[in-house]
Structure 1
Amino acid sequence: MNDRRVLFFGDSFVAGAGDPRGCGWVGRVAAACAPLTPYNLGIRGETSVQVCGRWQTEAWPRLRAEATCAFVFSVGANDACGEQPGDPPRLTIEQSTTALAETLDAARMMELPAFVVGPPPVGEPAWDERVRELTGAFETLCASRGIPYVAVAEPLLASRTWLEEAAAGDGAHPGAGGYDELTELVLDGGLRDWLAAL
């Protein structure tokens, strides 16, 4: 039996908040890349520092020596936000990149492959500018470590479906159509091939 386990760590976008189908992009990826055992470990509202502070504790019970195991990280959206519109971001670029760097280095020490999905837009112009900055910083970080990375912010900011669904919802999270688009960006951005090679 092919036991492929992929642990998806992140925030509300990983958890699939706003998706009427209840599966978000992680569930869609799992369906498209079966057989696969996905563990959705997204927690709404968490920053990269919070996600990266808990991931190892949550990972260990789900790992097995006889299984093929890997990690997908998608953080940064909450780093870019303040508590209210007009507030400054919760984390600096340096804090965000340091948290992700430490996480990727720890995953490498465990000799398990990792993939990083960049943060989606969050619906406020000033915060989305920080999302753009984080996208570039994370891409540079991943390139320096040979970690596959897919940026999603710019194409989603250009997507009428994503923007309209987010505006009709809570302002940040899309509905089913937006998650469909995010899924295709992630799969076509390298995750499909990366999963197939596990």
Structure 2
Amino acid sequence: MTVRPIRLCVFGDSFVAGVGDPTHRGWVGRVAEYVLGELSIDLTVYNLGVRRDTSSDVGERWHREALARFSDECDNRVVVSFGVNDTTLQDGSYRVEPDESESNLAAILDRAASHGWATLVVGPPPIADQRQNVSTAVLDERFALLCQGRAVPYIHTFSHLAGVTSWTREAAQGDGAHPGARGYADLADLVCADITAWLGMPADSVGGRV
């Protein structure tokens, strides 16, 4: 069986973009480095994280950006990660209401599945604002249940990182949300194994496809 090159688009917010990391690698760059060291695959990774993006923002742009990068000759895959900006209060209301956040994620996963693109979701992390963390934790669980119903791999980061001192300390010492290099390394360590296993599986055997 011929193994096709993999093109991986990672969509999301400032945490995907790696904001706050002085090495400019973030978790996406670290995971890509790890995967290429573990698997003998032809992998191209596109970091498509945009600061302040909500699930609605990603939902509006992801499809055209993926089409511009994917090829019929490749095993095309999508990772999405968002949620913290959705639960940010703006004029007394969430920037995106939880029901809409869930609908946005569902629409992305369903449209990707219609193309045969495998998907994986990385859940939103905690920040230094404990009030907002309560809302993000609820959204995290809603996202997880949605993915479970679609057989899409979901990586919880919230509960794990909430107990990681380097993540919480760097976020508090920075802008209140984004960690530094050590925090992003912790996040990368958390997701590396699952993403590596997912990328190492044949395209027709991973979740998120129809």
TM above 0.5 = yes
Question: Structure 2 length as normaliser, TM-score?
Answer: 0.89
Cα distance in 1 between the residues matched to 2:73 and 2:82? 29
| 1:58 Cα deviation from its structure 2 partner | 0.5
Q: Give the paired residue count.
A: 195
| 1:121 Cα deviation from its structure 2 partner | 1.2
Could you list the per-position Cα deviations for residues 11-54 of structure 1 after superposition, in whole angstroms to 9, with x for gaps in the alignment?
Answer: 00000000011010000111011142110000000100110111
Number of the residue aligned with 2:197: 193
Q: Is residue 87 of structure 2 the alignment partner of residue 80 of structure 1?
A: yes
Number of the residue aligned with 1:38: 45
Could you list the per-position Cα deviations for residues 44-94 of structure 1 after superposition, in whole angstroms to 9, with x for gaps in the alignment?
Answer: 00100110111001011101111121000001110011248xx44212110
1:6-155 → structure 2 map (5 Å cutoff): 6-34=8-36, 35-83=42-90, 87-155=92-160
What amino acid does structure 2 have at the position aligned with 1:182?
A: L
Cα distance in 1 between the residues matched to 2:27 and 2:118? 20
CA contact (8 A) 2:59 2:108 kept: yes
| 1:2 Cα deviation from its structure 2 partner | 5.7
Q: Is residue 196 of structure 2 the alignment partner of residue 173 of structure 1?
A: no
| 1:167 Cα deviation from its structure 2 partner | 1.3
Cα distance in 2 between the residues matched to 1:170 and 1:196? 36
Aligned-partner SS, 2:89: coil
Cα distance in 2 between the residues matched to 1:187 and 1:67? 22
Aligned-partner SS, 1:33: helix
Aligned-partner SS, 1:154: helix
What amino acid does structure 2 have at the position aligned with 1:194?
A: W
For structure 1, the 5+ residue unaligned runs are none
Match of 2:167 among 159, 162, 166: 162
CA contact (8 A) 1:9 1:40 kept: yes
What amino acid does structure 1 have at the position aligned with 2:29?
A: G
CA contact (8 A) 1:89 1:127 kept: no
What amino acid does structure 2 have at the position aligned with 1:129?
A: V
What amino acid does structure 2 have at the position aligned with 1:63?
A: F
Q: Percent identical across equivalent pairs?
A: 41
* RMSD of aligned alpha carbons: 1.4
For structure 2, the 5+ residue unaligned runs are 37-41, 203-210
Aligned-partner SS, 1:58: helix
What amino acid does structure 2 have at the position aligned with 1:14?
A: V
Aligned-partner SS, 2:94: coil
Question: Structure 1 length as normaliser, TM-score?
Answer: 0.94
